């Protein structure tokens, strides 16, 4: 199913190829705003926010997020 659906979508978006866009500057973002900077300081978050984020961890050890090893197969 994906194959025929994606094929029809790709065929449709291929219509852009008929346009000559040489020399056109790309519109990279949603607006023309320049980079926005702020001071590089840590802002503490509310304790309820922190608690909820910890609660959302699928696996945790204390307040730490427990993750699977990247390069090994699971041994347990």
Partner 1 sequence: MDASTLTIKQAAGLLQAKECSSVDLVKRSLDAINQRNGELNALLEISSTVLADAKRIDDRRANGEDLGPLAGIPLVTKDNMLIQGWKASAGSRMLENHVSAYDATVVGRLRKAGMVFVGRANMDEFAMGSSTESSHWGPTKNPWDTARVPGGSSGGSATAVAAGFAPCALGSDTGGSIRQPASLCGIVGLKPTYGRVSRYGLIALASSLDQIGPFTRTVEDAALVMQAMEGKDDRDATTAEDFETAIPELMQKDIRGLRIGLPKEYFVDGMDERVRLAVTEAVRLFESAGALVTEISLPHAEFALAVYYIIMPAEASSNLGRFDGVRYGYSSSGNSLIESYERTRGEGFGKEAQRRIMLGAYTLSAGYYDAYYRKALQVRALIRQDFDRAYKDVDVIVTPTSPSVAWKLGEKFNDPLTMYLSDIYTISANLAGVPALSLPCGFVDGLPVGLQLMGRHFDEASLYRLGMYYQSVTDWHEKTP
Does position 47 bind partner 1 by CB under 8 A?
no
Instruction: Find the binder of partner 1 among 40, 42, 48, 61 (CB under 8 A).
Output: 48
25 contributes a contact to partner 1 by CB under 8 A: yes
Does position 64 bind partner 1 by CB under 8 A?
Answer: no
Rounded Cα distance between 33 and 11, Å, is 34
From the CB of 49, what's the least distance to partner 1, in Å?
5
Per-residue CA distances from 49 to 35, 41, 55, 59, 65 (Å): 28, 19, 10, 18, 16
Chain-centre distance for alpha carbon 58: 19
User: How far, in Å, CA of 73 to CA of 69, rounded?
Assistant: 7
In the complex, the residues that contact partner 1 under the rule CB under 8 A are 1-2, 5-6, 8-10, 12-17, 19, 21, 24-31, 33, 35-36, 38, 45-46, 48-53, 55-59, 65, 67-70, 72-74
């Amino acid at each position: 199913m994906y194959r025929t659906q994606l094929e029809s979508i790709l065929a449709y978006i291929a219509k852009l190829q008929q346009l000559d866009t040489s020399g056109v500057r790309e519109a990279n973002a949603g607006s023309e705003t320049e980079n926005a900077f702020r001071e590089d300081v840590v802002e503490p978050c509310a304790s309820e926010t922190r608690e909820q984020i910890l609660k959302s961890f699928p696996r945790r050890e204390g307040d730490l997020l427990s993750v699977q090893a990247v390069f090994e197969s699971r041994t347990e």
